[in-house]
Chain A
Amino acid sequence: MAFINLQNLTYKYPLTKTPALQNINLQIDKGEFISVIGANGAGKSTLCYALAGFVPHFFKGEISGEIEVDGIASSKSTLDEWVVNVGLAFQNPFNQISGAKYTVFEEIAFGLENIGVPREQMKSRVEEAMKLTGISNLADRSPYSLSGGQQQRVALTSILVMQPKLLVLDEPTSQMDPIGTREVFEVIHNLTQSGMTVVMVEHKVEWIAHFANRVIALKDGSIFMEGKPSDVLTSDLLIENGFGVSRYTSVAREAKKQGLWKKEKLPVTLFEAAEGFKE
């Protein structure tokens, strides 16, 4: 059976009329790198919350259907048990700083202290995680003194250090520069190679095309399209429904109309575009 299993999941926030998630069916295997795209309000964050246990354990409201991770149903678990297996990092890094710690090192150790990891293991785990995300040099800085991009790395590291089986990331690179974004994608890619499963909301489609195994396109709370990045991100249907696509896709699409793009398939990345135009 799949590692993650969402079955007919429908969810409505309290006091709202339309469901934020509608009849979601989704199976994800262990070690997959899934990317979620969609317009504002499509339900991406809500999907993240559902996977991470915050829907329905933190946000109340009406829920139906099943959420299962690693054979355990979310409805049969409690939030504090759930977060040990499923890590969540989201967009605004400032609000993810605990505020209880004075250095980046302590900030990253915060989660380990909470779940009772012995002190002897703590140091090496924190150091290892910081090395992985390339922030070892920030260890003694105050988390509040960092740039947005650096804070996002700290937020990501603070979750990674807890070694979740499923990592849920809601726009984790929004404040990072291109180099930072690339590095984060590479780190996550490597983690999936060693068996971690990752679901990541992200708009940077070129990186998705490069690294993700599968793309889920959400629209109005439902799965609109799903499949390999090279298929989904170049589909006409997606473009016509207002999803953002890569500029190389847009250019090649125009070029195709004028007979300048000969290939059947549209490109997503610069490399694919260059290859295609060579022909």
Chain B
Amino acid sequence: MHERLSFHIKRDSAIHRLNPLTKLTLVLTLILLAFLTPWYWTPHILAVIFIPILSVIGKVAKEYFTTALKLILPAATFLFIMQAVFQPIGEEIIFHFYFLDVTQESLMFAFRNAMRIIVMVSAFTLFLLTTHPSELMSDLTRRGLPGQFAYVMISTLQILPQMQAKAQTIISAQRSRGLDTESTFLKRAGSIFPLVGPLVFGSLAEVEERAIAIEARGFTSKQVKTSFHEIPDSSNDKILRWSLLFLILVSIVLNLWHS
């Protein structure tokens, strides 16, 4: 069992000190830029230069590159190959493999799309690495996101691994009573059925208890909630957010104008 279930790494950096909403806006801007700007090389520059630099500023470069190498790069490579091979565009065939043709256009196309995906995933990774989930939740509720909504979001993130662990326990328990979960698909589909009961009905009673527990701690209180974590929101944050929004607007306009 992990001691901590969030990605967040507690460090003191310029990015950690940004307001969560500012960071969220930054993520959104990066993604939109990667997808909208007409210039072919934008996503490449963001993925290869800009985001890695941000990870260094955020003092999470090591963790960022580990995730990138283990997770993001393999996925993007797979996507690249699939699109390069199956994209029926362009004339100039570079090479030929049985019935598959790879053209220069399809290569270019696939390359850019892979880079876009890298921007998207790595921007989020960076966000998660530098943002405390409780801070994010408090900040968003303070800005008017309904408390219940924020609670569901964040507790799901936390409780999912617990549910998984519980499903595993139930499976082991059922298997030790002779339940077959390892043979053919159909047989397994049938034998999964006995697992549903304990997981769902166990959960319903649990949901009731959970509701009582958080209610007992004033969750539906009409008082204005306070937050233990001090959430930074400087004037720099505001300026940055407005600039980012402006950037988004510009890229949208450029995109419309070009097409």
Binding site for B on A (CB under 8 A): 49, 52, 54, 58, 79-80, 83-84, 87-90, 92, 95-102, 105-106, 109-119, 122-123, 141-142, 144-145, 155, 158-159, 162
5 contacts between A and B (CB under 8 A): A79-B220, A113-B227, A118-B226, A145-B2, A155-B213
Docked Cα-Cα span, A89 to B138, in Å, equals 25
- Write the chain A residue with the least CB distance to B133: A102
- Residue B177 interfacial (CB < 8 Å): no
In the complex, what's the smallest C-beta–C-beta distance from A224 to chain B, in angstroms? Answer: 26
- Residue B182 interfacial (CB < 8 Å): no
Known: A79-B220, A115-B218, A142-B3. A98 touches B213 (CB 8 A): yes
A79, A88, A102, A144: the one contacting B1 at CB < 8 Å is A144
Known: A80-B222, A144-B158, A145-B3. A100 touches B217 (CB 8 A): no
- Write the chain B residue with the least CB distance to A84: B218
In the complex, what's the smallest C-beta–C-beta distance from A81 to chain B, in angstroms? Answer: 8
Which residues of chain B (108-136) have a CB below 8 Å from chain A? 132-134
Docked Cα-Cα span, A118 to B154, in Å, equals 23
In the complex, what's the smallest C-beta–C-beta distance from A169 to chain B, in angstroms? Answer: 11
- B126-158 near A? 1/0 per residue, CB < 8 Å: 000000111001100000000000010011001
- B1-26 near A? 1/0 per residue, CB < 8 Å: 11111101000000000000000000
B134 in contact with A101 (CB, 8 Å): yes
In the complex, what's the smallest C-beta–C-beta distance from B161 to chain A, in angstroms? Answer: 8
B227 in contact with A142 (CB, 8 Å): no
A79, A102, A116, A123: the one contacting B215 at CB < 8 Å is A79
B226 in contact with A119 (CB, 8 Å): yes
A122 in contact with B137 (CB, 8 Å): no
In the complex, what's the smallest C-beta–C-beta distance from B228 to chain A, in angstroms? Answer: 4
- Write the chain B residue with the least CB distance to A93: B213
Known: A95-B206, A100-B137, A106-B134. A111 touches B228 (CB 8 A): no
- Residue B224 interfacial (CB < 8 Å): yes
B137 in contact with A144 (CB, 8 Å): no
Name the B residues within 8 Å of A159 (CB-CB). 216-217
Docked Cα-Cα span, A79 to B162, in Å, equals 29
A106, A114, A118: the one contacting B217 at CB < 8 Å is A114
Name the A residues within 8 Å of B49 (CB-CB). none
Name the B residues within 8 Å of A113 (CB-CB). 138, 225-228
Name the A residues within 8 Å of B211 (CB-CB). 58
A83, A89, A100, A122: the one contacting B154 at CB < 8 Å is A100
Docked Cα-Cα span, A145 to B222, in Å, equals 32
In the complex, what's the smallest C-beta–C-beta distance from A95 to chain B, in angstroms? Answer: 4
Name the B residues within 8 Å of A84 (CB-CB). 218, 221
A54 in contact with B3 (CB, 8 Å): no
Docked Cα-Cα span, A105 to B228, in Å, equals 10
Docked Cα-Cα span, A123 to B226, in Å, equals 12
In the complex, what's the smallest C-beta–C-beta distance from A219 to chain B, in angstroms? Answer: 25
Which residues of chain B (151-206) have a CB below 8 Å from chain A? 151, 154-155, 158-159, 162, 206
Docked Cα-Cα span, A54 to B215, in Å, equals 9
Docked Cα-Cα span, A79 to B229, in Å, equals 27
A83 in contact with B213 (CB, 8 Å): no
